[in-house]
Amino acid sequence: MSLNKKTEKEHRTTFPLHCLPEQLKDTVERVNMFTGMSMELTINIIFTMLSIICQYLVGVVSPYSGIPGPCSLYLLTLAESGEGKTFLSRLLMRPFYSQIEKMQLEYRDRLTIYKRQHRIWKTSLQGFDANQRQAIKNGKGVEDAQVQLDEHYKGEPKRPVEPKFSYQDVTFKALIQGLSLHAEAGIIMDEAISFFRSGLKNHLGLLNKGWDGGKYSFDRTDGENYELPLCLMLSLMIQPGVFSNYLEKHGEMAKSSGLLARFLVMKVKSSIGQRNSRIDEEGLNAVLAPFYDHIQGLLSLLEARFYDDSIPKDQLRLSDDAKMFLQEKQREIEQAILPGGKYSHIRDFASKAIEQALRLATIMTFYLTKPTGGSSAADLIYTKIIDARQIRNALTIVDWYLQQASDLFYPLSERYQFECEVRSLWSFIVKRLNKSQGIPFPKCELLQSGPGRLRHIDKLTPALNQLINQRLCCIIRYNGSSMLHIAGYYSNGSICTGGFPHNYSIVQMQNLKDEGFWHVDL
């Protein structure tokens, strides 16, 4: 039995690699083979890069409303120092950062040209201004001077937009200013301690709207107004201890606002002390080459759309089979978030599972099928359809992330607290019955000397009802007395009175018809 439990747990905590596109699966396995570092950490970094690229190139049409939406992801990775967060980020995201560096160099060249042209334009403007003043003074040629001035204004050189696709340690003010120029970007931090200590984390409206997509309005104190069509992605890597500290101080606000529920959360299983890495730079680069080439193709599309805003985003739709599978899965999720259900304690996370799966399926479908080589034949094959297989794979991956969130946030849940109270109460009852050699004891003792947290009737009753419904104890009343007593059971199922014959009536015993009942493992 213990072996089966171990196997089940390992299966539950192992990322479903088979659900990734074949090239991504091979990349993850080969990086692990060469570095010995966590495959899950590698996966989240790959998802980070794909999300920030794809959010600029593709969206997904909601099967419920028909309205296009974003495919960006919020990723939260908990990993101890030394797990290779920075190393893997630099390795896997090398094509992205190289592309941004190239575009930044081009931007600086364009900025230099712009500044020179603008100085020339401004000098000419002074001449047109002088002509208009002279025309007004002379009382003739005013209309011609005004036309010339208007035409000159129309020819003002446009300042190039900086290709700012990602931010690291950024303030709220700097982020707003950047997004006002380029509203699709990501916050990527492989050491996110500064984010969780910054003021930006408190701007929940901006962060929530960035995931949802749509316009975000912001009024500055100086009267300046921003209305941003946001599309934001976040990838935050942080040590578990730092994140726990954040939860203690700000967890309730972040959870109740819905911010945490927008994240796909992962706690990395440590690889420290277990790595069998290879010192083979050429070999590692060789196995990454196909992945790099594919990413470079997508980055060329990103560059083209950045410089030509007339290029529209692709909008992917679900096939009919995919819609049917999605609807079936949604019914399962709704059951799982009911009281006592598998995900009742993280219902906020689970309620966003369908949306998360749509985004993941969009990213994986786009990665698999989007032509990047300018082939007209490939364009004909590209259908912009998410099939049932991809939505099934995405849902399996999201279910794995939900299990990660379940394990992480379970100790903070009401259900966990309740189960602790039930165990504490049962421990007290067992000790009390053993002390009296099985003789039932007055129920009022639970309020007088029972577990401290349960010395109030509103707290005691649910925990006691749980034990009664698990047929561990019951409430009886001896004939001729109004006092209620707690009694246990013999192994044969009969009520234990400690070996003394008493006449009694049962006041409360097991009732499996109680709504929301689930078994608490004691």
Residue-wise pLDDT for 212-227, tens only, equals 998 888 776 666 676 7
Identify which has the larger pLDDT, 281 or 105.
105
Q: With 80 as the cut, is the pLDDT of residue 276 above it? A: no
Q: pLDDT: is 493 or 366 the higher one?
A: 366
Q: Is residue 135 part of a domain?
A: no
With beta carbons less than 8 A apart as the criterion, state whether 183 and 231 touch.
Answer: yes
Q: Which helix (H) or strand (E) holds 366?
A: helix 353-369
Does residue 143 fall inside a structural domain? no
Q: How confident is the model at residue 515 (pLDDT cuts 50, 70, 90)?
A: low
Tell how strand 385-386 and strand 263-267 pair up: unpaired
Residues in the chain: 522
* Overall average pLDDT of the 380-408 stretch: 94
pLDDT of residue 111: 95
What's the pLDDT band for 430 if we cut at 50, 70, 90? very high
Averaged pLDDT for residues 462-467: 94
What number is the average pLDDT over the span 493-500?
86
Say how far apart CA 206 and CA 99 lie, in whole Å.
Answer: 27
**Whether residue 339 is found in the same domain as residue 214:** yes
The whole-angstrom separation of Cα 448 and Cα 456 is: 9
Query: Token pair 């304690």 is at which residue?
Result: 345
pLDDT for residue 340 is more than 90: no
pLDDT at 485: 96
pLDDT value at residue 251? 73
Q: What pLDDT does residue 451 have? A: 94
Spatial distance between the Cα atoms of 388 and 357, rounded to a whole number of angstroms? 12
> What predicted TM-score, i.e. pTM, was given to this entire model?
0.83
119 in a domain, yes or no?
no
397, 423: one domain:
no
Residue ranges of E strands in 290-408:
314-318, 385-386
In total, how many domains does the chain have? 2
Least confident of 128-132, 310-314, 363-367: 128-132
Q: What is the pLDDT of residue 93?
A: 96
* 499 falls within a domain: yes
The bridge status of strand 385-386 relative to strand 314-318 is: parallel
pLDDT tens-place string over residues 163-214: 999 998 888 888 888 888 888 999 999 888 888 888 888 888 889 999 999 8
How many Cα neighbours within 13 Å face the side chain of 343? Answer: 23
pLDDT of residue 2: 32
- 444 and 354 together in one domain: no
Q: Do residues 359 and 72 touch, judged by C-beta distance below 8 A? A: yes
| Amino acid (one-letter) located at 222 | D
Residue of 28, 97, 22 whose CA lies nearest to 287? 28
Say yes or no: 52 and 21 in one domain.
yes
Q: Taking residues 319-337, what's their average pLDDT?
A: 95
Helices (H) and strands (E) in the chain, counts: 19, 14
Mean pLDDT confidence for 56-70: 96
Structural domain ending residue among the three candidates 412, 446, 468:
412
- Looking at the fold, whether 388 and 428 belong to one and the same domain comes out as no
Long-range contacts of 110-119 (CB under 8 A, 24+ apart): 110/160, 111/159, 111/160, 114/157, 114/158, 114/159, 114/160, 117/157, 118/156, 118/157, 118/159
pLDDT value at position 511? 81
Burial letters 130-155, b for 16+ CB under 10 A, else e: ebbeebeeeeeeeeebeeebeeeeee
Chain CA centroid to CA 307, Å? 30
Within a 10 A sphere around the Cβ of 437, how many other Cβ atoms? 10
Cα torsion angle, 8, 9, 10, 16, sign: positive
| Whole-angstrom distance, CA of residue 349 vs CA of residue 454 | 30
Which residues are within 8 A (CB) of 452 and not within 5 positions of it... i.e. 6 or more apart? none
Q: Verify that 289 and 433 share a domain, yes or no.
A: no
pLDDT tops 70 at residue 309: yes
- Same-domain check for residues 361 and 383: yes
Helix (H, G, I), strand (E, B) or coil at 485: strand
Which residue, among 13, 493, 29, has the nearest Cα to 290 in the 3D structure? Answer: 29
Angle at the Cα of 53 from the Cα atoms of 52 and 56, rounded to 5 degrees? 90
150-155 own/partner pairs: CB under 8 Å, 24+ apart: 152/121, 152/124, 152/125, 152/128, 153/125, 155/121
Q: What does the pLDDT average to over 335-360?
A: 92
Q: State the first-to-last Cα distance of the chain, in angstroms, to the nearest integer.
A: 18
Which pLDDT belongs to residue 356? 98
Residue 58: pLDDT over 90: yes
Report, as an integer, the average pLDDT of 403-422. Answer: 87
Q: Is the pLDDT of residue 425 over 90?
A: yes
pLDDT of residue 60: 97
Residue 1: per-residue pLDDT: 27
**Residue scoring higher pLDDT (92 or 134):** 92
Assign residue 33 the CATH number of its domain.
3.40.50
Average pLDDT, the chain: 89
Statement to judge: residues 438 and 503 lie in one domain: yes
Same domain? For 455 and 406 the reply is no
Which residue do the tokens 């960006």 mark?
72
Domain residue limits at 188:
17-108+161-412
pLDDT confidence of residue 465: 93
Q: Is residue 139 situated within a structural domain?
A: no
d(CA 480, CA 468): 24
| Residue-wise pLDDT tens digits, 115-160 | 999 999 999 999 988 988 888 888 888 888 898 999 999 999 999 9
Residues 481/437, Cβ–Cβ less than 8 Å:
no
Confidence of residue 500 (pLDDT cuts 50, 70, 90): confident
Write out the two tokens for 56: 């600029």
Domain final residue pick, 391, 412, 433: 412
35 and 165: one domain?
Answer: yes
Which amino acid is it at 374?
A: G
Question: Do 387 and 307 sit in the same domain of this protein?
Answer: yes
Choice among 94-103, 122-131, 310-319 with the minimum mean pLDDT: 122-131
- Kindly report, residue by residue over 236-274, the tens digit of the pLDDT: 999 998 888 888 887 777 778 889 999 999 999 888 877
Angle between helices 388-409 and 320-336 (to 10 degrees): 20
Residues 179 and 239 in one domain: yes
